[in-house]
Amino acid sequence: MRPSRRAPDELRKVSLERGVARYAEGSCLVKFGETHVLCTASLEERAPPWLRNSGKGWVTAEYSMLPRATHERTRREVTSGKPSGRTQEIQRLIGRSLRSVVDLTSIGEKQIVIDCDVLQADGGTRTAAITGGWVALHDCIQWMRSRSMLTGNPLKDHVAAVSCGIAGGQPVLDLDYAEDNGAETDANFVITGSGGLVEIQGTAEGKPFSEEEFLSLLRLAKGGVAQLVELQKLAVM
């Protein structure tokens, strides 16, 4: 039995609330159970310097946690002078994941910044951020289209993410903090609406895992993402 009494292949209660930020071009408050992430999309008129005169745009992400999103208060990174390695790793992952479903040429030399601020953390913040970030990105692109800033639709597919792990010897979907802490293996999967794999990150905590175990996690992830994509479709309808 999982601590949350969920079935092994059961997601937490997920909600995707759009339009929560008054000034942003797109926004979504995503909840995976007690994990709450506020995602906003900001359109910036200038692409990063390395794209100048390329005709291409960019989608990037930033990630942060409020200090008391966690059980114990965590220090603000501003006082340590730089984002931690973990923060940078996560924001690079979110950015790459969202870019995998965007035609950057259609955006033109602009940049969309997806800010993912964790209001409350109970495991799986990066997967929630990717899933909710897609909604914010979608709405930002709609905002641009409604102002005739785009001719086609640069958003080619859905993308969502979920964590899986082996906990108590059993492969389980969408770990919360309590489960994640004790898991032997922890993996994050980023998968598109059409089932393409975008990112796979599996890490043994302690003892290495077998190929078989890994494949069972992949199966769980595909089922979980399919559900998340359905929720995204409902959200932006």
Residues that bind a second copy (CB under 8 A): 21-24, 27, 34, 38, 40, 42, 44, 62, 64, 66-71, 73, 76-79, 81-85, 88-89, 91-92, 96, 100, 113, 115, 117, 119-120, 187, 191-192, 194-204, 206-211, 214, 218
Judged by CB, which is closer to a second copy: 1, or 63? Answer: 63
CB of 210 to a second copy, least distance (A): 7
Alpha carbons 230 and 68: distance in angstroms, whole number: 31
CB atoms within 10 A of CB 45: 7
- 125 known ligand binder: yes
Judged by CB, which is closer to a second copy: 219, or 233? Answer: 219
CB of 136 to a second copy, least distance (A): 10
- Identify any residues that bridge with 167 across adjacent strands, giving them in sequence order: 170
Judged by CB, which is closer to a second copy: 175, or 217? Answer: 217
CB of 96 to a second copy, least distance (A): 7
What DSSP element (H or E) covers 165? strand 159-167
Q: Which residues, 6+ apart, have CB-to-CB distance to 47 below 8 Å?
A: 54, 56, 57, 58, 109, 110, 111
Query: Residue 161 class from Cβ within 10 Å (0-12 exposed, 13-18 middle, 19+ buried)?
Result: buried
The annotated binding site for phosphate is made up of: 86, 124-126
